[in-house]
Amino acid sequence: MRDLEIRGAGNLLGEEQHGHMEAIGFDLYCRLLEETVAELQGGGGVAPLEVKVELRLAAYLPDDYVGDAQHKMDLYRRVARIRKSGACTRMRDEFRDRYGPPPPPVENLLGIQHLRIMAGRLGVEEIRGGRTGLDFFFSGGHEPSPVIIQGLMESGLPGLQFKAVEQFVVKVPADRAEHLAVATAVLMRLTELTERLAV
């Protein structure tokens, strides 16, 4: 933990985490957190995360929601290890039962993990939010078919663009405040189209 503080990661479990979460992104934050846990427990390194999500959102557990540092560390680890959408819902229910209604930063935390789950199934290896919108980067061999692209274009999302130079990218205009909602809508639509074709 001290090593991370020296390197500038700061207080991973306290109130200062909010700024660090926004600055380095949820994925890198989780990686740093899991590496720290492994160090404290005497374990080795952790495997890289499968999907990179970079959205500048307040996604954390506030001190006035989960005050105990050990509980907070455990909850971050559990969220980062969720691999099924239904588990996100169950985790939200657990938060509600134990700590009360989840505030926006907690909803964002779970929402980002839900994005990672859906993206991983679709072959999206990175979701990047910027000032003008969202970019969805597909890994090689997982590019959407022409039928899926057509279905996405007909889904009512305005301003969609597709680029395939070095990597297939779907670009979606969106205000920064709507990044999580729009990213979720895009991935849910892609999931629906993919499942429909698989039948």
Give tens-digit pLDDT for 31-86: 666 555 555 555 444 343 479 999 999 999 999 999 999 999 999 999 999 999 89
pTM beyond cutoff 0.85: no
d(CA 3, CA 58): 25
Which helix (H) or strand (E) covers residue 46, if one does?
none
CB 102 within 8 A of CB 73: no
pLDDT band at 29 (very low <50, low <70, confident <90, very high): low
For position 178, what pLDDT does the model report? 95
Phi/psi class of residue 168: alpha, beta or left (left: φ > 0; alpha: ψ in -120 to 50)?
Answer: beta
Distances in Å between the Cα of 27 and the Cα atoms of 51, 59, 111, 154, 180 are 8, 11, 13, 31, 15
State the sign of the Cα–Cα–Cα–Cα dihedral 70, 55, 119, 8: negative
**DSSP secondary structure string for all residues of 94-113:** HHHHHHSSPPHHHHHHHHHH
Q: What is the pLDDT of residues 85-110, one digit of tens each?
A: 899 999 999 999 999 999 999 999 99
d(C-alpha 55, C-alpha 70), whole Å: 26
Q: Beta 161-164 vs 133-138: how paired, if at all?
A: unpaired
Both tokens assigned to 124: 């999206």
Domain borders along the chain are 1-50+57-114, 123-199
Question: What is the distance between the alpha carbons of residues 124 and 138, in angstroms, rounded to a whole number?
Answer: 4
pLDDT exceeds 50 at position 161? yes
User: Within its chain, how far is the Cα of 139 from the centroid?
Assistant: 17
Report the pLDDT value the prediction gives residue 54, as an integer from 0 to 100: 95
